[in-house]
Amino acid sequence: MTDTSTPTRSQGQWALGQREALNSNEKMKADENPLLVRERIERVYAREGFAAIHPDDLRGRFRWWGLYTQRKPGIDGGRTGVLAPEELDDEYFMMRVRSDGGQLDLAQLRAIADISTRYARDTADITDRQNIQLHWVRIEDVPEIWRRLEEVGLSTTEACGDCPRVVLGSPVAGVSVDEVVDATPAIREIVDRFVGDLSLSNLPRKFKSTVSWLADVPYEANDVAFLGAVHPEHGPGFDVWVGGGLSTAPMLAQRLGAWVPLAEVPDVWLAITRLFRDYGYRRLRHRARLKFLVADWGVERFRAVLEEEFLGRPLLDGPPPALPAAPIDHIGVHRQQDGLHYVGVAPVVGRVSGKQLTRLADLAEAHGSGRVRLTAYQKLLVLDVADPGPLVRELRAIGLEAEPSPWRRNTMACTGIEFCKLAVVDTKQRAATLVAELEERLGDRPVPLSINLNGCPNSCARAQVADIGLKGMLVTDADGAQVEGFQVHLGGGLGMAENQGGGFGRKLRGLKTTAAELPAYVERLSLRYLDGRVDGS
């Protein structure tokens, strides 16, 4: 038995017999498994309306079904964290639809488009975790939305909450000429066997996973990641990483030094998830992600506990994956394994509408097989296209650009103050304006800088790992007024080797900009970059 003796203060690890709920969130989960709230939503809340919803369900268990209340419109960022939760809650919901591996077929795309226009005021945001988020959803409509989603094999199950979230995968799995093994079967098996499993739905905190041959997903920011690697004796398989996560205490995932074949990925994933469930810290939510356990134990001890207590066998040692020199975003026209093409397009910061998705579905059906993929950079791909030229033109006509400016291509934004109750500043609209202004000021000058806008320190759009990472906060302007602004991180990167620019950006003390000055600030930085000197000033 491995020595798993722990710190003197109780962290609430189940494996050590500490099952007492140590905070209100743990109590909510212990009182009733959050997945069980679905029955109440369908039987009671959808009939009786918003006012009937119990607060523990509204702000707790609903998340396990992909539902968050939206921020009440008109509440400025200065009041975030000051108002009580019920004062921030609108009566409408954000609903997150899982798309594991980012894969959508034609029926699924049409279903999402139709739900968006019927029930979500035509909203649909592609997130940086390959999900689709709808807004303005009424509780009365939720059962019918679930019925329509499930009819085509989609769901909102565990799209949020302390449970296994959407599994990221390469958006070109099964079609890329650079791929050796398609990881899709492992993703499907994980979802089919374990998403919605009551024994895995009370984890200490959210649990983010990636299974991908290519490093075209932000695997370093995940709790667990399996990345393609060729073993010298056993051939192609997957290298295992654990303990990544950004938010307010960012850490990059670390290699376990272990290699697993495709067929074993689901069982090793299960063992890691159970280890997290049983040994993960449950006392403080801001120290509950797997990364804190990995940081405390180190990867050697983590691997030993995994093998001895959860797998019952040793893992094979394996080589590191070959990492690209720069992030891969798949924008533009690319040849597939079968001689057809895929076309990658950039909506502005992932924002599309139901009507746009309906047109996209028509085009994907007319020019391809109907298959569409979502990327972890808020972009879209249309697969299986024989003659891409006409499709590129028709996609442009509906606002989906296969030849975007560097600004449109490389800018992401989180939900921000428009809908998010934790936000301090606006992000989506601000990012769209920023992109337009930079296109105007700098045109198509080749400035391959990624810009990630976040509405608060939680870093849902990965502030620390962009060339220019922006973290929303209130700042003091030249007139001494408190206005929306950003703290700036410079020089981060993901999806590439550390010696080629991967890793965290530098948070420079005092480096802040007001939101109004942001375009001029980024323009200055870009011109310095083109000059070959960036110092953050």
The CB density around residue 227, as the number of other CB atoms within 10 Å, is 25
We find the least distance from the C-beta atom of residue 532 to ligand SF4, in angstroms, to be 32
Instruction: Tell whether residue 139 is a contact of ligand SF4 (CB under 6 A).
Output: no
We find the least distance from the C-beta atom of residue 182 to ligand SF4, in angstroms, to be 31
Q: Residues touching ligand SF4: how many (CB under 6 A)?
A: 12
The CB density around residue 514, as the number of other CB atoms within 10 Å, is 17
Candidates 227-235, 310-318, 397-405, 416-424: pick the segment binding ligand SF4 (CB under 6 A): 416-424
Site for ligand SF4 in 216-255 (CB under 6 A): none
Q: Which residues touch 350 (CB under 8 Å, ≥6 apart)?
A: 125, 126, 127, 128, 378, 379, 412, 413
Instruction: Tell whether residue 415 is a contact of ligand SF4 (CB under 6 A).
Output: yes
CA pseudo-torsion sign 484, 487, 488, 493:
negative
Task: Go through the chain and tell me how many residues it has.
Answer: 537
> What is the DSSP pairing of strand 468-476 with strand 482-490?
antiparallel
Across 248-271, b (16+ Cβ under 10 Å) vs e yields eebbbbbbbbbbbbbebbbbbbbb
Shorter beta-carbon distance to ligand SF4: residue 70 or 212 = 70
Candidates 176-184, 359-367, 436-444, 452-460: pick the segment binding ligand SF4 (CB under 6 A): 452-460
We find the least distance from the C-beta atom of residue 460 to ligand SF4, in angstroms, to be 3
The residue within the footprint of ligand SF4, chosen from 35, 214, 288, 456 (CB under 6 A), is: 456
We find the least distance from the C-beta atom of residue 376 to ligand SF4, in angstroms, to be 15
Instruction: Tell whether residue 459 is a contact of ligand SF4 (CB under 6 A).
Output: yes
Shorter beta-carbon distance to ligand SF4: residue 174 or 250 = 250
Instruction: Tell whether residue 416 is a contact of ligand SF4 (CB under 6 A).
Output: yes
Shorter beta-carbon distance to ligand SF4: residue 76 or 151 = 76
Candidates 124-132, 327-335, 412-420, 506-514: pick the segment binding ligand SF4 (CB under 6 A): 412-420
Instruction: Tell whether residue 112 is a contact of ligand SF4 (CB under 6 A).
Output: no
Shorter beta-carbon distance to ligand SF4: residue 137 or 422 = 422
Cα-based angle 287, 78, 507 (whole degrees, multiple of 5) = 50
Candidates 92-100, 263-271, 273-281, 454-462: pick the segment binding ligand SF4 (CB under 6 A): 454-462
Shorter beta-carbon distance to ligand SF4: residue 455 or 491 = 455
SS (H, E, C) 241-291: EECCECCCCCECCEEEEEEECHHHHHHHHHHHHHHHHHHCCCCCHHHCCHH
The residue within the footprint of ligand SF4, chosen from 109, 112, 460, 468 (CB under 6 A), is: 460
3-class DSSP state for residue 304? helix
- Residue 396 is given by DSSP the state H
The residue within the footprint of ligand SF4, chosen from 181, 265, 290, 414 (CB under 6 A), is: 414
Shorter beta-carbon distance to ligand SF4: residue 273 or 427 = 427
Instruction: Tell whether residue 349 is a contact of ligand SF4 (CB under 6 A).
Output: no
Instruction: Tell whether residue 423 is a contact of ligand SF4 (CB under 6 A).
Output: yes
Strand-pair partners of 353: 123
> What is the DSSP pairing of strand 341-345 with strand 89-97?
unpaired
* Cα separation, 505 vs 465, whole angstroms: 6
Tokens of 537: 């000033």
Instruction: Judge contact between 330 and 344, C-beta under 8 A.
Output: yes
Tokens of 309: 């207590």
Shorter beta-carbon distance to ligand SF4: residue 159 or 456 = 456
Using CA atoms, how far residue 388 sits from 106, 338, 349, 363, 385, in Å, is 18, 15, 23, 11, 6
Tokens of 337: 């394994």
We find the least distance from the C-beta atom of residue 128 to ligand SF4, in angstroms, to be 10
Phi and psi torsions of 410, nearest 5°: -110, 15
Shorter beta-carbon distance to ligand SF4: residue 92 or 342 = 92
The residue within the footprint of ligand SF4, chosen from 145, 168, 402, 420 (CB under 6 A), is: 420
We find the least distance from the C-beta atom of residue 472 to ligand SF4, in angstroms, to be 6
We find the least distance from the C-beta atom of residue 250 to ligand SF4, in angstroms, to be 13
The residue within the footprint of ligand SF4, chosen from 454, 464, 487, 513 (CB under 6 A), is: 454
3-class DSSP state for residue 1? coil
Strand-pair partners of 352: 124
What residue is closest to ligand SF4 based on CB? Answer: 455
Candidates 235-243, 291-299, 389-397, 451-459: pick the segment binding ligand SF4 (CB under 6 A): 451-459
Instruction: Judge contact between 222 and 209, C-beta under 8 A.
Output: yes
- Residue 17 is given by DSSP the state T
Instruction: Tell whether residue 378 is a contact of ligand SF4 (CB under 6 A).
Output: no
Q: Is 193 left (phi over 0), alpha (psi -120 to 50) or beta?
A: alpha
Candidates 252-260, 301-309, 443-451, 453-461: pick the segment binding ligand SF4 (CB under 6 A): 453-461
Rg of the chain over all Cα atoms, to the nearest angstrom: 22
We find the least distance from the C-beta atom of residue 475 to ligand SF4, in angstroms, to be 16
Shorter beta-carbon distance to ligand SF4: residue 400 or 456 = 456
The residues that touch ligand SF4, with contacts defined as CB under 6 A, are 414-416, 420, 422-423, 454-456, 458-460
